[in-house]
Amino acid sequence: MGLRRKKKKISGRGQVIGIACFFTAIVFAPTTIVLFIGMIPTIVAALLDRSDKGAKALTVGAMNLAGCTPFLIDLWIRSHTPEMAIKIIADPLTIIVIYSAAGIGYLISWSMSGIVGTIMVQRSVSRMKDIEKRQEALVERWGQEVTGEIPIDSEGFPLETEEKISEGDENGQKKKK
């Protein structure tokens, strides 16, 4: 059995936005062509990103859009026609620049994950050292009983071990030497 995903129903508001985006894409077809081809790395990142917040897709998308921007401006200034959009996208330099910008987004996402992971590990190690110091202070103040290593009875009192019993008599009193 494969993993089944719940299908999310699109609300009425979402349907209206989807229809508006569709008609906008048709009206601005040249821009849509450049953005669709240029933003493929972002689509891939969004599909492969397993985190709930989509940080990788956001990072790659921002850099990818930054890479597309100069070519979109060029399209808008020159001639906003589908032929010009295809001419711009067909230029290998355009694809190299756009996809390199997306690659930088992947690099930023990867490096920041490593940096944040390292910082979190260092913080947890520091926290563990602080906890151990506090535990030592508690043992020094209250005795070995607070460690949880000494067996206790149902009422929370330490059980007497054979060593303690041999040191005292049946009543737990210490023998005089």
Task: Render 76-118 in DSSP notation, one character per residue.
Answer: HHH--SHHHHHHHHHSHHHHHHHHHHHHHHHHHHHHHHHHHHH
- Is residue 166 predicted with pLDDT exceeding 90? no
- The answer to whether position 6 is within a domain reads no
Q: Evaluate if residue 91 carries a pLDDT over 90.
A: yes
In degrees and rounded to multiples of 5, residue 2 shows phi and psi of: -85, 170
| Cα 60 to Cα 57: distance, rounded to the nearest angstrom | 5
Where is pLDDT greater, at 110 or 145?
A: 110
State the residue range of the domain holding 64.
Answer: 30-114
Write down the pLDDT at residue 177.
Answer: 44
Give the confidence band of 32 by pLDDT, cuts at 50, 70, 90. Answer: very high
Q: What is the pLDDT of residue 88?
A: 95
Asked if residue 60 is part of any domain, the answer here is yes
What percentage of the chain has pLDDT greater than the value 90?
A: 56
Which of helix, strand or coil describes residue 168?
strand
Q: Please indicate, yes or no, if residue 160 is contained in any of the structural domains.
A: no
Q: Is the pTM of this model over 0.85?
A: no
In a domain, 95, yes or no: yes
pLDDT (average), residues 61-76: 95
- Give me the number of domains the chain comprises: 1
Is 48 contained in some domain?
yes
- Specify the residue for token string 């001419």: 87
Residue 50 has pLDDT above 60, yes or no: yes
52/79: higher pLDDT: 79
What is the band of 35 on the pLDDT scale with cuts at 50, 70, 90? very high
Q: Given pLDDT bands bounded at 50, 70 and 90, which one contains residue 144? A: confident
Residue 22 within a domain: no
Q: Is residue 73 part of a domain?
A: yes
pLDDT band at 11 (very low <50, low <70, confident <90, very high): confident
Domain-located, residue 92:
yes
Size of the chain, expressed as the number of residues it contains: 177
* pLDDT, position 94: 96
